[in-house]
A and B are shown apart, each in its own frame.
Chain A
Amino acid sequence: MIFNDFNPLEDKIFRVIDNDGKVINKEYMPDLDDETIIQAYKHMLFFRTADEMAVSFQRQGRMYTYPPCLGHEAIHAASGMNMRDQDWLVPAFREVGIMLLKGVTMKEIFLYYMGNEEGSNFKKANHVIPISISIGSQYLHATGIGYSIKYQKKDEIVFTSIGDGGTSEGDFSEALNFAGNWKVPVIYTIQNNQYAISVPVKNQTNAINLAVKSVGFGIPGVKVDGNDFFAMYATYKEAVEYAKAGKGAVLIEALTYRKGAHTTSDDPTKYRTKEEETEWHKTDPMHRLKKYMDHKGIWKENEEELIEKYKLEVDKQFEEAENMPPYKLDDVFQHMYVDMPDDLRKQKADYEQFLTWKDSKK
Chain B
Amino acid sequence: MTIVQAINNALDIKLEEDKTVVIYGEDAGLEGGVFRVTEGLQKKHGVERVFDAPIAESAIVGTALGMAMSGLRPVVELQFDGFSYPAFNQIISNVSRMNNRSRGMYKAPMVIRFPYGGGINALEHHSESPEALYSHIPGLKVVVPSTPHDAKGLMIAAIESGDPVIFMEPKRIYRAIKQEVSDDKFSIPIGKAKVLTEGTDVTVVAFGAMIRECQKALVMAKEAGISVELIDLRTIYPLDKETIVNSIKKTGKIVIVAEAPTSFSVGGELMAIANEEAFLYLDAPPKRVMGFDTIVPLAKGEPLYMISPDRIFYEIERTVKF
**Contact segment of A161-169, A244-252, A274-282, A310-318:** A161-169
Binding site secondary structure of chain B = loop
Interface string of B40-62 (1 = CB under 8 A from A): 00000000000010111111000
**Smallest distance from the beta carbon of A235 to chain B beta carbons, Å?**
25
Cβ-closest chain A residue relative to B311: A354
**Contact between A198 and B27 (Cβ–Cβ < 8 Å)?**
yes
The answer to whether B52 touches A198, judged by C-beta atoms less than 8 angstroms apart, is yes
- Say yes or no: A348-B55 contact (C-beta < 8 A), given A115-B121, A115-B300, A117-B301: no
| B82 and A64 within 8 A (CB) | no
B82: which of A112, A134, A165, A168 is its contact (CB, 8 Å)? A134
Q: Which residues of A contact B123 (CB under 8 A)?
A: 64-65, 133
Is B58 in contact with A170, judged by CB distance below 8 angstroms? yes
Cross-chain contact B55 with A135 (CB below 8 angstroms): yes
Given A115-B298, A115-B302, A347-B293, A358 and B52 contact (CB-CB distance below 8 Å): no
Interface residues of A in 305-362 (CB under 8 A from B): 327, 329, 331-333, 336, 341, 343-344, 347-348, 351, 354, 357-358
- In the complex, what residues of A have CB within 8 A of residue B82's CB? 133-134
Known interface pairs A331-B297, A336-B295, A344-B293; A358-B121 also in contact (CB < 8 Å): no
Q: Is B122 close to A, CB under 8 A?
A: yes
**B124 contacts chain A at the CB level, 8 A cutoff:** yes
Question: Which of B54, B59, B295 is close to A199, meaning CB atoms less than 8 Å apart?
Answer: B54
- Expressed in whole angstroms, the minimum distance between the Cβ of B33 and any Cβ of chain A is 9
Q: Would A165 and B263 count as touching, CB distance under 8 A? A: no
B319 at the interface (CB under 8 A from A): no
B300 contacts A327, C-beta separation under 8 Å? yes
Is residue A205 within 8 Å, beta carbon to beta carbon, of the partner chain? yes
The closest CB in chain B to the CB of A165 belongs to B55
Which residues in chain B, 123-175, are within 8 Å of chain A measured between CB atoms? 123-126
Complex interface: chain B residues within 8 A of A112 (CB): 298
- CB pair B305–A332 under 8 Å, yes or no, is yes
Do residues B125 and A133 form an inter-chain contact, with CB atoms below 8 A?
Answer: yes
Point out the residue from A117, A133, A170 that lies within 8 Å of B297, measured CB to CB. A117
Query: Is B299 touching A357 in the complex (CB atoms < 8 A)?
Result: no
How many A residues, CB 8 Å from partner?
43
Asked whether B240 is an interface residue with its Cβ less than 8 Å from the other chain, the reply is no
B292's contact among A134, A168, A271, A348, by CB below 8 Å, is which?
A348
The answer to whether B301 and A168 touch across the interface, beta carbons within 8 angstroms, is no
Pick the contact of A331 from B83, B301, B310 — CB < 8 Å? B301
A346 to B85, CA, bound (A): 29
What residues of B have a CB within 8 angstroms of the CB of A266 in the complex? 34
Residues of B with C-beta under 8 A to A329: 304
Question: Which residues from chain B contact A171 at a C-beta distance below 8 Å?
Answer: 86
For residue A11, give the distance in angstroms from its CB to the closest CB of chain B.
20
CB neighbours (8 Å) of B125 from chain A are 133-134
Give CA–CA (A340, B224) in the complex, Å: 37
Complex CA gap A107/B55 in Å reads 31
A354 to B83, CA, bound (A): 33
Distance between Cα atoms of A327 and B262 in the complex (Å): 22
Do the beta carbons of B31 and A198 come within 8 Å of each other? yes
CA distance A112 to B301 in the complex (A): 12
Chain A residue with the shortest CB-CB distance to B121:
A64
What is the bound-complex CA distance between A188 and B124, given in angstroms?
24
**Can you list 28 contacts pairing A with B, beta carbon distance less than 8 Å?**
A64-B122, A64-B299, A65-B123, A114-B299, A115-B301, A116-B301, A133-B124, A165-B54, A169-B86, A170-B58, A170-B86, A196-B26, A196-B55, A198-B27, A198-B30, A198-B52, A199-B26, A203-B54, A204-B54, A205-B54, A265-B34, A329-B304, A332-B292, A343-B293, A347-B293, A351-B292, A354-B310, A357-B314
Beyond contacts A65-B123, A169-B55, A204-B55: 4 other A-B pairs, Cβ-Cβ < 8 A, are A114-B299, A133-B82, A134-B125, A332-B304
